[in-house]
């Protein structure tokens, strides 16, 4: 996507920060102007911190934010399990299953029984962590520590926001429920469970969804109602004809340029209104 010619020069680096007794790696980008800016925790899709996530991190930094994209799978706790190769195999396997059967345990087990032992074991391990018993509290703890890292960073002025995509969208709102960020943005992420967790949101939420992404988008009204009842600032937009992952321009099968460009502008306005 186009970046304005007058956007800021940035520095980038691979960093690590502590979360309890664990070390979490991340990708950091921030303006080179020596000034303090709002901080953003940017949360990856289920594929981890890939080139797309790094690109979005840099784009937000050029807009005047100090941005940290933590790798939630980099903890020693998930070492050798949540590898890019294993996650890729799990996602390819899931996409090979009819949509209406993807959460059918019996059907999935039958399909997995046809795989090689090594693939089956790797996929089962990833499935167990990311799809069946996802450790939301653990991941939220890593993100909470990312907020602490940004708060202590010389380039951050004290205001903190978050944004995430798919898996990361769900984690962005879970982080928002802790009350540690001023503005939480969701790109086609699942609602927190229980939905009442939303009462912990500090201030503002932005949700951006694809009209064709019915499994996720059909629950957006529950998020709106809970936040409205709690008198929180919430903005939701559903893009007609857009599918899940419509923002990711590295996936031509789902990328929707019109929706992605509009969503980007909505995100920048959201942060300007709530963090500047």
User: Is-catalytic flag, 262?
Assistant: no
3-state secondary structure of 92: helix
Considering the candidates 44, 52, 153, 244, report the single residue annotated as catalytic: 244
Two tokens at 135? Answer: 């450790």
3-state secondary structure of 124: helix
Find how far residue 74's CA is from the centre of its chain: 15
Closest by Cα among 270, 172, 182, 263 to 223: 172
User: Is-catalytic flag, 229?
Assistant: no
Considering the candidates 213, 221, 229, 262, report the single residue annotated as catalytic: 213
Greatest Cα pair distance, the chain, in angstroms, is 57
| Packing angle, helices 117-127 and 105-112, rounded to 10 | 150
User: Is-catalytic flag, 153?
Assistant: no
Considering the candidates 44, 52, 153, 166, report the single residue annotated as catalytic: 166
> What does DSSP assign to residue 137?
H
Element at 167 (helix H, strand E): helix 167-176
3-state secondary structure of 151: helix
54 Cβ contact partners less than 8 Å away, ≥ 6 residues apart: 12, 27, 69
Q: Which residues are catalytic?
A: 166, 213, 244
């Amino acid at each position: 996507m186009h970046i304005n010619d007058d956007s800021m020069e940035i520095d980038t680096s691979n960093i690590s920060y502590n979360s309890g007794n664990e070390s979490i790696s991340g990708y950091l980008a921030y303006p080179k102007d020596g000034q303090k800016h709002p901080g953003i925790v940017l949360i990856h899709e289920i594929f981890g911190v890939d080139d797309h996530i790094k690109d979005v991190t840099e784009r937000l930094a050029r807009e005047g934010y100090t941005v940290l994209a933590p790798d939630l799978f980099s903890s020693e706790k998930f070492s050798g399990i949540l590898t890019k190769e294993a996650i890729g195999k799990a996602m390819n396997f899931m996409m090979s299953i009819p949509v209406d059967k993807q959460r059918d345990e019996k059907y999935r087990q039958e399909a997995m029984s046809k795989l090689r032992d090594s693939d089956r074991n790797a996929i089962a391990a990833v499935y167990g962590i990311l799809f069946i018993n996802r450790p939301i509290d653990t991941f939220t703890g890593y993100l909470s520590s990312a907020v602490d890292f940004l708060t202590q960073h010389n380039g951050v002025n004290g205001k903190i926001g978050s944004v995430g995509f798919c898996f990361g969208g769900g984690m962005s709102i879970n982080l928002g429920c802790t009350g540690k960020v001023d503005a939480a943005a969701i790109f086609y992420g699942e609602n927190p469970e229980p939905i009442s967790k939303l009462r912990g949101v500090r201030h503002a939420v932005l949700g951006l969804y694809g009209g064709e992404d019915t499994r996720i988008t059909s629950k957006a009204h529950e998020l709106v109602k809970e936040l409205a009842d709690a008198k929180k600032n919430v903005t939701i937009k559903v893009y007609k004809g857009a599918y899940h992952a419509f923002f990711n321009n590295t996936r031509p099968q789902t990328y929707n340029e019109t929706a992605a460009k509009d969503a980007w502008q909505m995100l920048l306005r959201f942060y300007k209104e709530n963090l500047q």
